[in-house]
C-alpha cells in the first residue's frame, strides 16, 4: 500500500496582480508551493501530483529547478471549475495508487506541517476512514467551510456561502486538507455535481458521498492554528509573511538565540543557527544557510545558502552560496559572490568583493579590493585597491597567490598569473608575469613629466569659469 499526495495549484490569484500562478507567490522568499511540498517530504510522502492551471509552464519550470526528494508529476486543469474538478484531473495518478491513501493539499496554504499530516493519517488509519478532514478552530471562521459533526465523526462540510445561520456559528473549519482512502475517493469523485452558489465541483461534497456509501468519516483537529491560512491578495500574503517570520524568530528565541532588535529580521524556514549566536536588525538569512556557534551576524546582512563556522563576525555583509570558516571577521560593505571560501581567521574589510575564490587562513583583505577567480594562500596581506583582473572580455582566468605574499596598494594582477610564496608586489604595479617566491615585482612604467602643462590647462579653465560667471550676472 502506498500513500501519495495531490496538491491543488491551479489558481491564478488575480487579486495578487501578478502574471504567475498564485502558489508561486512567496512567503519568506520561498513559493507557497515549496512550503507545501517540503512538508510532504518531511513526512516522507514522496509520490506527489501537482494540479496546475494558469501559466502552468511556470510551475513546471520551478519544479524542475528544485532539488527534490520526491517524485513529482504534474497534470493540467484547463478550466477552473472547483476543487473537485481539479482532483478529477489527477485520475490517472490516483488509479496508479488506488491501493493506498491520498492526501489532498492546497498549494496556497503554506503552513501545513509534518505533525498535522502524520497525526491525521494515524487517525484515518486507526478508524478505517474513507475520508479524514484536517480542521482547526478559528475565532473568526468567515469564509471557511464549517465542519458538521455527529456521534460517528462528521456528517459533512458546508461551504460558508451555503451555510444556514446555525452553521455559521460553528468555529471548527475545514483547512482544505484531506486524507482519503484512494479507492473510496475514486468511487465518488466523478459523481460530484455543481449544485451550489458558484456552480463548481466541490471536493467537500466527496465527504457526504463517502458517508452515504456507509464509510466512516472523521476530522482531525490540528494543533497548528495556522494550518488553514491562505492568501487571496497582497494583504493576505503580507499577513502570511508576518506570521511565518514571527513563528521562526520565536522558535530561535526559545533555542537561546539573541536578537537585539527584530526590525527587518527575516529568517528562512530551512536556516540553522548555533548556540550563543546573535542576530542584529535588518538581517535576512535565506535558503539553507547554516550559522555556527557564538557568531555575531550584524545589522543589514543578507546571507543565502551559505555555511558559516563558529565565532564569525559579519557586519553589513552579503554572502551567497559561500563558505566562511571559524573565527573570520568580515565587513562592512562586503559582498561574497557564489563560490567564495573564506578560511579560518581571515579578515575581510570594507568595500571588498570576492567571487569564486578561496581566501587562505589568516589572510587580510583590508579594503577597496576585488578578488575574482583566485586561489589565495595563508597569511597573505592585500593593500588598498587591489584588483585581480580575471576577464579579458571573452574568457575568465585564475590568479594564484601563495602563502605569506604581500600585495601592495593599487596592484592589478592580470590573470592568469601566479605570485610565489613570500613575494611582494610594489604599490601601483600592474603584474602580467608570474612572480617567483620571495621576489619583489615592480611594474609601473616610466614616468613622463611635462613642465608647464598644468599651468596652460588651468589658465583655460579659469577663463571659461570667469566667462560663465559674467553670463550668469548678465541674466
If phi > 0 it is left, if psi is from -120 to 50 it is alpha, else beta; for residue 395 that is beta
Scored b (16 or more CB within 10 A) or e, 251-290 reads ebeeeebebeebeebbbbbbbebbeebebbebbbbbbebb
> Quick one: CA dihedral 198, 157, 49, 37, positive or negative?
positive
β-bridge pairing 172-181 and 131-137: antiparallel
Non-local CB neighbours of 378 within 8 Å, separated by 6+ positions:
343, 360, 361, 362, 363, 403, 404
Catalytic: 225?
no
Please give the order of strands across the beta sheet that includes 323-324. Answer: 272-273, 290-291, 307-308, 323-324, 341-342, 358-359, 374-376, 399-401, 417-419
Q: By the 8 A CB rule, do 429 and 441 touch?
A: yes
The three cell numbers locating residue 320: 551567497
Q: Catalytic one among 85, 97, 160, 367?
A: 367
**Among the listed residues 224, 296, 232, 304, the one whose alpha carbon sits nearest the alpha carbon of residue 266:** 304
What is each CA distance from 215 to 127, 148, 156, in whole angstroms?
10, 16, 12
Q: Which residues are catalytic?
A: 367
Amino acid at each position: 500500500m502506498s500513500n501519495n499526495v495531490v496538491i491543488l495549484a491551479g489558481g491564478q490569484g488575480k487579486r495578487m496582480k501578478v502574471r504567475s500562478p498564485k502558489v508561486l507567490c512567496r512567503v519568506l522568499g520561498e513559493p507557497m508551493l515549496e512550503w507545501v511540498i517540503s512538508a510532504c517530504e518531511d513526512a516522507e510522502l514522496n509520490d506527489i501530483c501537482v494540479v496546475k492551471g494558469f501559466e502552468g509552464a511556470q510551475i513546471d519550470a520551478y519544479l524542475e529547478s528544485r532539488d527534490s526528494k520526491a517524485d513529482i508529476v504534474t497534470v493540467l486543469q484547463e478550466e477552473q471549475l472547483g476543487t473537485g474538478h481539479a482532483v478529477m484531473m489527477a485520475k490517472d495518478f490516483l488509479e496508479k495508487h488506488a491501493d493506498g491513501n491520498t492526501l489532498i493539499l492546497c498549494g496556497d496554504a503554506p503552513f501545513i506541517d509534518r505533525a498535522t499530516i502524520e497525526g491525521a493519517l494515524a487517525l484515518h488509519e486507526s478508524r478505517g476512514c474513507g475520508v479524514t478532514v484536517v480542521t482547526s478552530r478559528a475565532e473568526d471562521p468567515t469564509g471557511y467551510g464549517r465542519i458538521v459533526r455527529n456521534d460517528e465523526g462528521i456528517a459533512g462540510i458546508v461551504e460558508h456561502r451555503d451555510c444556514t445561520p446555525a452553521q455559521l456559528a460553528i468555529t471548527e473549519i475545514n483547512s482544505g486538507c484531506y486524507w482519503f482512502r484512494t479507492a473510496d475517493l475514486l468511487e465518488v469523485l466523478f459523481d460530484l455535481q455543481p449544485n451550489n452558489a458558484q456552480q463548481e465541483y466541490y471536493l467537500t461534497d466527496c465527504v457526504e458521498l463517502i458517508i452515504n456509501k456507509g464509510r466512516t468519516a472523521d476530522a482531525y483537529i490540528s494543533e497548528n492554528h495556522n494550518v488553514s491560512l491562505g492568501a487571496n491578495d497582497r494583504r493576505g500574503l503580507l499577513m502570511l509573511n508576518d506570521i511565518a517570520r514571527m513563528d521562526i524568530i520565536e522558535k530561535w528565541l526559545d533555542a537561546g538565540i539573541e536578537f537585539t532588535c527584530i526590525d527587518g529580521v527575516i529568517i528562512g524556514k530551512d536556516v540553522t543557527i548555533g548556540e550563543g549566536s546573535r542576530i542584529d536588525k535588518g538581517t535576512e538569512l535565506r535558503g539553507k544557510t547554516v550559522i555556527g556557534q557564538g557568531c555575531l551576524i550584524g545589522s543589514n546582512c543578507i546571507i543565502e545558502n551559505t555555511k558559516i563556522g563558529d565565532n564569525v563576525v559579519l557586519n553589513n555583509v552579503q554572502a551567497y552560496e559561500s563558505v566562511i570558516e571559524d573565527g573570520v571577521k568580515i565587513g562592512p560593505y562586503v559582498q561574497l559572490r557564489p563560490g567564495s571560501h573564506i578560511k579560518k581567521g581571515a579578515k575581510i574589510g570594507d568595500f571588498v568583493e570576492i567571487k569564486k575564490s578561496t581566501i587562505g587562513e589568516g589572510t587580510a583583505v583590508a579594503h577597496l579590493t576585488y578578488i575574482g577567480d583566485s586561489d589565495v594562500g595563508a597569511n597573505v596581506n592585500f593593500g588598498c585597491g587591489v584588483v585581480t583582473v580575471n576577464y579579458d572580455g571573452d574568457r575568465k582566468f585564475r590568479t594564484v597567490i601563495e602563502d605569506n605574499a604581500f600585495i601592495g596598494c593599487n596592484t592589478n594582477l592580470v590573470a592568469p598569473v601566479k605570485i610565489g610564496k613570500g613575494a611582494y608586489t610594489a604599490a601601483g604595479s600592474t603584474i602580467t608575469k608570474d612572480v617567483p617566491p620571495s621576489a619583489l615585482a615592480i611594474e609601473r612604467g616610466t614616468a613622463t613629466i611635462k613642465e608647464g602643462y598644468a599651468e596652460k590647462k588651468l589658465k583655460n579653465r579659469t577663463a571659461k569659469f570667469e566667462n560663465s560667471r559674467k553670463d550668469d550676472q548678465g541674466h
